[in-house]
Amino acid sequence: MPDIDEREREQRSNGRAELPSYPSGTPGATRQSRTTASAHDFASDQMLTPTAEPPQSGWQRWLYKITGGAINVGPSLREQRQRELIAAVRAPVSGCRRIAIVSRKGGVGKTTTTLFLGHTFAEHRGDRVIALDGNPDAGSLGYRVRRETNKTITHLLVSRENVSRYADIRAFTSQAPTRLEVIAADDDPRITDSLREDDYKRVVDLLEVHYNLICMDTGTGVLESASKGILQLADQLVLVTSPSLDSGRAASATLDWLEKNGHEDLVAGSVAVINGIRPKSMVDLDKVERHFQARCRAVVRIPWDDVLQAGAEAALTDLKPPTRAAYLELAAKVAKGFASPSRRV
């Protein structure tokens, strides 16, 4: 009978040598078990002792400060809710997300919604956010932030072949303190009215190389070439209406038209905004909200705010707390749609 050494030599010559096995607790077994460990284990959430974040407002903040941090009861329910909304606003985006803000009725706050939705995203996210004035009737979006340039979407179209870097794009945008950038429309409606579907597609194709979110302000005519082009480019839709019967009717009719013209997916994923709500209204807002909840993915109410009525430059910090909170909720609702696939034409 061959001894152990002969058997081992035979296995090696046949290429069938068995790997040595070690009983549990031997040095070989220890080395093998360590293969699952790596330098990635030394992450903050893995190695540091968990600590509660200090509250930022209310009596909870006061108590934390006067006790030198010894007593931390945590944030209030309102602050917890705000943190949840901010986390939702920061949802990751794969590539570029294009959001169209629409309304078939003027004066309902569509441009204001575009601006403050963009401001909210830009304030809380680390990526680039831009608002594009796609109103063919000499839109006013460019005048809602401090103008850093007189260049407009038309200038960008003319120069697009020379734009290859982000620094090149910045020559055509104005940037707010929130880091939101804006591309203005021309003051002459004869110029903006001449822009067509393909023109906006060229501009958006250029912008999406350098920006993660594009908020597109549209005109009131969804049948116009410019607005139709923006709808074709949009991944998501924000529908703006005021708390009145005629505005709500027009907004619902817009959804009808979209569903009948190949945009059922935009309607299903849309967010409706009931804008400029006063403390008292003859309209039953609960019924209006239920109507749009049945047709859209989400509905957000924006309260009346005197700051927004001037149609001038305004910052998030100028808004009343309830208004600012409403825009944060709107941004969070829109951001929940980032998980759905992007539409590509």
pLDDT at 72: 73
| Domain regions of the chain by residue span | 53-89, 93-339
CATH number for the domain whose boundaries are 93-339: 3.40.50.300
pLDDT at 247: 94
User: CB–CB of 234/99 below 8 Å?
Assistant: yes
Helix 225-233 × helix 197-207 angle, to 10°: 40
Instruction: Give the integer Cα–Cα distance in Å for 28 and 100.
Output: 62
- Alpha carbon separation from 329 to 51, 74, 192, 229, 287 (Å, rounded): 27, 22, 33, 28, 20
pLDDT at 91: 96
User: CB–CB of 166/172 below 8 Å?
Assistant: no
Show the low-confidence residues of the chain (pLDDT under 70).
1-35, 44-45, 48-52, 59-60, 63, 73, 136, 138, 189-194, 221-226, 344-345
